[in-house]
Amino acid sequence: MTASIENLLKNSNLPGPRGNLELMYSFAHSANAMEISECMSYLRDDLRNSPEEFVVMCGLVGYAVLNRQNLPGCLAFLRRFASHGSWRIREAVAMGIQETGAGNMDLLILHLKSWLDGNELEKRAVVAGLCEPRLLIDKETVNEVLQILWDITLGFSASPGKISDAAKTLRQALGYGWSVAIVHHPIAGKKIFEQLAGMDNPHIRHIVKENLKKNRLLKMDKAWVEARIAGL
């Protein structure tokens, strides 16, 4: 075991409610291929709330940083873990997506669109990966993200009844992702969100309600939020 991996295991803050994300990002931005490979050697099915889980997270984000110039290959690697049983591993996939996006959003969005044909957890990775304030810099990018959120959200219209746990996880991500995108392009965001608010599907209404609870929308336009709530 190398000293860097030993440090990750020792200072992961797991088991516990929150992993040491500062350490994770510090490692990810300095790790070499051998260290990343060693991190991934800790991967197994049951990693929940363990130091080893944290080490694999570091490996995934580090892989994204190291390989961001090979975007198709990098995303193909990350996608393999988007449906892992560990929510932290799934979150690391989203963080990895974000690491590839800076200055690279056109290509990132282009390649992530293929994930929309995947399962609910893969779609969840897209939502969590793209709905990140530091990536939503220009309005053209936000328009693309809003369209992706629209397409994913409309997928719930085919399932008005009981949904799977994976679909609930996707719904949860959409329950905040819309608000992140809307505040970065309010004119376009409010227009498309108002169309969602008029739909009768219970899962879509749940997504709408959850976003309307977010302080970022209240700070953006309190009167608009209150009008949407009244309309529900």
- Predicted confidence at residue 232, as pLDDT, reads 87
Least-confidence region, from 73-82, 152-161, 192-201: 152-161
Contact between 60 and 42 under an 8 Å Cβ cutoff? The reply is no
- Residues, the chain, total? 232
The yes-or-no verdict on residue 36 having pLDDT over 80 is: yes
Beta-carbon-side half-sphere exposure of residue 97 (alpha carbons within 13 Å): 32
Cβ burial 127-146 (10 Å sphere, 16+ → b, else e) = bbbbbbeebbeeeebbebbb
Tokens of 216: 């970022």
Cβ burial 3-26 (10 Å sphere, 16+ → b, else e) = ebbeebeeebebeeeebbeebbbe
Mean pLDDT of the chain, nearest integer = 96
* Band of pLDDT at residue 158, cut at 50, 70 and 90: confident
Contact between 2 and 37 under an 8 Å Cβ cutoff? The reply is no
pTM of the model: 0.95
Tokens of 190: 């409010």
Q: What residues have CB less than 8 Å from 213, skipping those under 6 apart?
A: none
* Band of pLDDT at residue 61, cut at 50, 70 and 90: very high
What is the C-alpha separation between 136 and 124, in angstroms, rounded?
18
Q: What is the pLDDT of residues 197-230, one digit of tens each?
A: 999 999 999 999 999 999 999 999 999 999 999 9
The yes-or-no verdict on residue 17 having pLDDT over 80 is: yes
Q: What is the pLDDT of residues 98-117, one digit of tens each?
A: 999 988 899 999 999 999 99
Domain ranges of the chain: 1-101, 137-232
Helices (H), the chain: 3-10, 21-28, 33-40, 51-67, 71-79, 87-101, 105-112, 120-130, 139-154, 165-183, 186-197, 202-212, 215-231
Between CA 55 and CA 176, with CA 20 as vertex, the angle to 5 degrees is 100
- Predicted confidence at residue 215, as pLDDT, reads 98
Positive or negative, the CA dihedral 115, 172, 99, 109 is: positive
Tell the residue number behind the tokens 């809003």, with chain if given.
146
**For residues 29-46, average pLDDT:** 97
Q: Is the preceding omega at residue 202 within 30 degrees of 0, hence cis?
A: no
The yes-or-no verdict on residue 160 having pLDDT over 80 is: no
Least-confidence region, from 68-77, 151-160, 184-193: 151-160
Cβ burial 90-104 (10 Å sphere, 16+ → b, else e) = bbbbbbbbbbbbeee
The yes-or-no verdict on residue 1 having pLDDT over 90 is: no
